Amino acid sequence: MVDASLAFGILVAIVTIDFVTIKETPMTADGFELNAFLPYRLNRAAEFVALRFAAQYKARYQLTRPEWRTLAPLGSTRRPMTATEVGAHSAMHKTKVSRAVAALEERRWLTRNENEGDRRLEHLQLTKAGLRAYVELTALAASYQAELDALVGAAGMQALTAGLEAIERAIGKVEKRPRREG
């Protein structure tokens, strides 16, 4: 069995080398600078950050990313949620949420309770074991956040936070607009 810290170090090295290589390679054969395209850059940055944390919770709990992304909102709200609410909170497709719910239920980390008013809905809630795992995972997350803070630096984190808040405000504006029909 591979030591979890060794596996984590290897993953970090691979992702870092890949990120540096792509960042330094011009992508302008057709006049389009891919590395300047915001959606591309955000996706790469998000993957880098998410994969490093995923390696930690995968090594410790054998959790998949969808399982973590399902567990997190249930633990952070400490209230029952529907699968639709979990999907909206975590930006996951309902199929991924459904599979994650089944896996967490199999671990006995969550329960499903049928909505008496609408039997198509189920309320998901963490069990004591699920809540315990969530608390342990948030300690791991806090440690990882401190690692990121040190890696990026205070000024970088402030700039990143301001940029993300601007994007989140823009998302809010776009989501509030009425959709145009065909």
Q: What is the DSSP string of 1-68?
A: ---HHHHHHHHHHHHHHHHHHHHHS---TTS--GGG-HHHHHHHHHHHHHHHHHHHHHHHH---HHHH
Residue 33 lies inside a defined structural domain of this protein:
yes
Q: What angle do CA 33, 39, 41 make, to 5 degrees?
A: 65
Task: Name the residue with higher pLDDT: 36 or 182.
Answer: 36
- For residue 164, what are its two tokens? 């993300």
According to the model, what pLDDT value does residue 4 have? 44
Q: Predicted confidence band at 145 (pLDDT cuts at 50, 70, 90)? A: very high
Residue 163 lies inside a defined structural domain of this protein:
no
Number of structural domains in the chain:
1
Residue 130 lies inside a defined structural domain of this protein:
no
Q: Is it the case that residue 13 has pLDDT exceeding 60?
A: no
Residue 21 lies inside a defined structural domain of this protein:
yes
Q: Is it the case that residue 152 has pLDDT exceeding 70?
A: yes
Residue 84 lies inside a defined structural domain of this protein:
no
Domain that holds residue 14: 1-62
According to the model, what pLDDT value does residue 8 have? 44
Residue 78 lies inside a defined structural domain of this protein:
no
CA 155/CA 178 separation, integer angstroms: 37
What pTM was estimated for this model as a whole?
A: 0.74
Q: Predicted confidence band at 121 (pLDDT cuts at 50, 70, 90)? A: confident
pLDDT digits (tens, 9 = 90+) for 52-108: 999 999 999 999 999 999 999 999 999 999 999 999 989 899 999 999 999 999 999
Residue 39 lies inside a defined structural domain of this protein:
yes
Residue 70 lies inside a defined structural domain of this protein:
no
CA 112/CA 175 separation, integer angstroms: 30
